[in-house]
Amino acid sequence: MDTVSPLKEVVREIEAAGGDAFKYCFQCGKCDVVCPWNRVRPFSIRQIVRQATFGIPEIELEDIWRCTTCGTCPSRCPRGVDPIQVGVSIRRIATQYDVFPASVRGVRSAAHSLASDGNPLGAKRGDRGAWASDLGVKPFAEGMEILYYVGCYGSYDPRIQKVAVATVEILNAAGVDFGILGTKENCCGESIRKAGNEEVFKGLARENIKTFIDHGVRRILVSSPHCYHAFANEYREFMVNFEVVHISQFLGELIEEGRLELAGAFPRKVTWHDPCYLGRHNGIYDQPREVLKKIPGLELVEMSERRETSLCCGGGGGRIWMETPKAERFSGIRLAQAKEVGATVLATSCPYCIGNFEDSRLALGDAEKIEIKDLTEIVRASLAARGATP
Ligand code: SF4
Ligand code: SF4
């Protein structure tokens, strides 16, 4: 570490990452007004931007770890400032100095596990494909229609493994020629990057890119909007350009091509939660709704905070590895919004959203009132109602 002050390092980091727009902040506070943290506790990203511009950022404070990178405030800033970039740059400095308050130490262990085993969950690399061992899923080979990139949570987390299984059943029902990378798959690295560990992100990205190239991958199907964001936007920094589709887009394609017919009923009142990295960060709002509308008997109801104003679940930006007290979880507010519009199913398509909603559902005693479903689980139920899946 050289003798450059933390302030200069932050300024240098942000400028290296794409500009000096943060210097144009005139402290209007619009970012704080829209930030979901201010519904559960006081927090000011405006102050963090000001510290980065005029003062010495205090890197030991818990507040520098709060931003979930939900994407709401950059879209509202009248001066074109991206407060996310400022926050992530300060986290990079904290990571370099190894300064982690107790509630965010999960980031440090996630980084270690990512560096050693390619996943943030402390699981063994060799077990990455175990979820698929009884499903007859093929290893990906050049010439296949699409690579199904499962992601860490789909590979290891028991709740999200159900999403991976539903995805496989749908792909089989539609006759898609696909394969997985199994133990050769690494975390995409999106969230550890937002948590400030650029070095681990770059290592994961380089390994994945080499694996994709070695296997002749051209098209990648993902379940997670975070993987989508990494492959579609961030891996371009490495001068590669793989075609990536999120499952909500691919399902629409399969239906349009007549390969998937959703004839079985799902007679439930469903509301759609737009994940931040699917919606605000990548503009995918219509495709999942179009799929849901095709399912007989399904009534789609909308929450008032939807599309561009969708409420964050709280899991982005590496927050999924940090501790958040029950009373401060955005996912609890979102669950209440879903119940308010009379939904009995809260549907989404992101492993972090599903994990957070499932936790809040149990913590709030809502297990009987509302179910959390991935889009694929609803589609699979529709297929099963017509006997089209096992
Ligand atoms: S909205 Fe933009 S200009 Fe206003 S305080 Fe936030 S970062 Fe600064
Ligand atoms: S990106 Fe979202 S969580 Fe982060 S400061 Fe902005 S509004 Fe708050």
Q: Which fold has domain 260-385?
A: Rossmann fold (3.40.50)
Intrachain domains 118-254 and 260-385 with the same fold: yes
35 lines ligand 1 (CB under 6 A): no
Assign 74 to helix, strand or coil.
helix
Percent helix, strand, coil in the chain (nearest 5)? 50, 10, 40
Assign 370 to helix, strand or coil.
coil
Strand partners of residue 372: 346
Where b means 16+ CB within 10 Å and e means fewer, 172-182 reads bbbebebbbbb
| Atom from ligand 2 closest to the CA of residue 69 | 1
The answer to whether the CB of 53 falls within 8 A of the CB of 90 is no
Give 75's DSSP letter.
Answer: H
Strand partners of residue 149: 222
28 lines ligand 1 (CB under 6 A): yes
The dihedrals phi and psi of 317, each to the nearest 5 degrees, come to: 65, 20
| Atom from ligand 1 closest to the CA of residue 76 | 1
> What are the sequence ranges of the domains in the chain?
6-99, 118-254, 260-385
Closest C-alpha residue for ligand 2 atom 2: 70
Q: Which fold has domain 118-254?
A: Rossmann fold (3.40.50)
- pTM recorded for the entire structure: 0.95
CA–CA distances in Å: residue 218 to residues 18, 21, 149, 212: 29, 36, 12, 8
Where b means 16+ CB within 10 Å and e means fewer, 82-97 reads bbbbbbbbbbbbbbbe
pLDDT in tens, the chain (390 residues): 444 456 566 667 666 655 566 778 999 999 999 999 999 999 999 999 988 877 666 878 899 999 999 999 999 999 999 999 999 988 998 999 999 999 999 999 999 999 999 999 999 999 999 999 999 999 999 999 999 999 999 999 999 999 999 999 999 999 999 999 999 999 999 999 999 999 999 999 999 999 999 999 999 999 999 999 999 999 999 999 899 999 999 999 999 999 999 999 999 999 999 999 999 999 999 999 999 999 999 999 999 999 999 999 999 999 999 999 999 999 999 999 999 999 999 999 999 999 999 999 999 887 888 999 999 999 999 999 987 666
Q: Which residues contact 165 (CB under 8 A, 6 or more apart)?
A: 131, 135
β-strands 243-246, 345-348: how paired? unpaired
Tokens 């998937």, residue located: 260
Give 53's DSSP letter.
Answer: H
Closest C-alpha residue for ligand 1 atom 2: 77
